[in-house]
C-alpha cells in the first residue's frame, strides 16, 4: 500500500491497482489542480468542513467518470448529491475494489467549545486508518494510521494518546496546515514516549510504502 500526503489531511492511497483519495479539501485546491493528483477511483470524506471537502475540487476529480464519493449522513446532507454512498458506523463496504470499514469517532471540540460535525474515519483494507478530525476511539487496532497533530482542541498529548489507543506502529502526521504545528517536532516528542512507533513525516506530494 502506497500513501501520498497532500495539504492538511488529504492522503492518496494506492492499493490493488486502485487510487483512493481521502479528504481533498481547500488547502489542496489552493496548491493543486485535479489533474495534478492523477486518476482517482474513489473519494472518502470524513466530514463536511471545507478543509476536508472542497466541492469544486471533488467535482473536478470526478470529471466525466463514475467515481464513488463516500461520506456519512451529515456530510451527505451538506454536500447534497455529490456524495454517492452514505455510510454508517461499523459498515463494511468496497470502493474501487478496496475493502473499507467506516468507524465513527467524535470530531474534536470547535474553538468555541461547541461540538464538531459527525466525523467518520476509514480503515482501509484492515491496514491503514484515517480518523478525520477525531482522536478518541476505542476497540480499534490499526497498525498504520494518520494522526492529527493540531486543531482547535488537539494537543501533542492527545495525538500520542490516540496512537496508543489504536496500537499504532507507523503513523503519518496530518492536519497542521491551518492550526499550524511542526510535524518534525511532534515526531521527536512522540518518539521519546512511544519508541516502538515509527512517525513518518511526509512533505506535500511525498509518498511512503506501508
Q: Which residue has the cell 472542497?
A: 54
Give 145's strand partners.
Answer: 129, 171
What is the band of 198 on the pLDDT scale with cuts at 50, 70, 90? very high
Which pLDDT does position 171 carry in this prediction? 98
Mean pLDDT of 127-152: 97
* Residue 58 grid coordinates: 471533488
Which pLDDT does position 91 carry in this prediction? 98
Q: Which of 31, 60, 1 is nearest to 204 (CA)?
A: 31
**Could you write out the DSSP letters of every residue in 76-125?**
HHHHGGG--EE--TT-EEEETTEEEEEEE-PBPPPTTS------EEEEET
Q: Which of 122, 147, 152 is nearest to 135 (CA)?
A: 147
0.75 surpassed by pTM: yes
CA–CA separation, 23 and 7 (whole Å): 10
CA–CA separation, 201 and 106 (whole Å): 25
* Residue 72 grid coordinates: 456519512
Query: What are the tens digits of pLDDT across the range 50-105?
Result: 999 999 999 999 999 999 999 999 999 999 999 999 999 999 999 999 999 999 99
Q: Which residue has the cell 489531511?
A: 9
Kindly list the domain boundaries of the chain, sorted by start residue.
Answer: 2-201
* Residue 144 grid coordinates: 498504520
CATH match of 2-201 with 3.30.56.10 = no
* Contact (CB, 8 A) for 179 and 150: yes
Which pLDDT does position 135 carry in this prediction? 97
Amino acid at each position: 500500500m502506497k500513501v501520498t500526503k497532500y495539504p492538511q489531511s488529504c492522503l492518496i492511497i494506492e492499493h490493488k491497482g486502485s487510487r483512493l483519495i481521502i479528504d481533498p479539501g481547500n488547502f489542496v485546491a489552493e496548491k493543486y489542480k485535479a489533474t495534478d493528483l492523477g486518476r482517482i477511483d474513489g473519494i472518502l470524506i470524513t466530514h463536511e468542513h471545507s478543509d476536508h471537502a472542497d466541492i469544486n475540487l471533488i467535482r473536478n476529480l470526478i470529471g466525466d467518470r463514475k467515481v464513488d464519493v463516500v461520506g456519512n449522513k451529515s456530510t451527505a446532507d451538506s454536500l447534497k448529491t455529490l456524495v454517492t454512498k452514505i455510510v454508517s458506523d461499523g459498515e463494511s463496504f468496497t470502493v474501487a475494489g478496496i475493502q473499507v470499514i467506516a468507524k465513527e469517532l467524535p470530531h474534536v471540540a470547535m474553538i468555541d467549545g461547541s461540538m464538531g460535525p459527525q466525523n467518520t474515519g476509514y480503515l482501509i483494507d484492515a491496514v491503514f486508518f484515517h480518523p478525520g478530525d477525531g482522536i478518541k476511539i476505542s476497540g480499534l487496532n490499526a497498525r498504520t494510521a494518520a494522526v492529527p497533530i493540531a486543531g482547535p482542541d488537539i494537543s501533542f498529548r492527545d495525538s500520542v494518546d490516540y496512537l496508543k489507543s489504536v496500537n499504532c506502529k507507523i503513523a503519518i502526521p496530518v492536519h497542521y496546515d491551518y492550526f499550524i504545528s511542526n510535524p518534525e517536532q511532534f515526531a521527536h516528542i512522540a518518539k521519546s514516549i512511544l519508541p516502538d512507533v515509527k512517525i513518518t513525516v511526509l512533505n506535500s506530494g511525498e509518498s511512503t510504502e506501508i
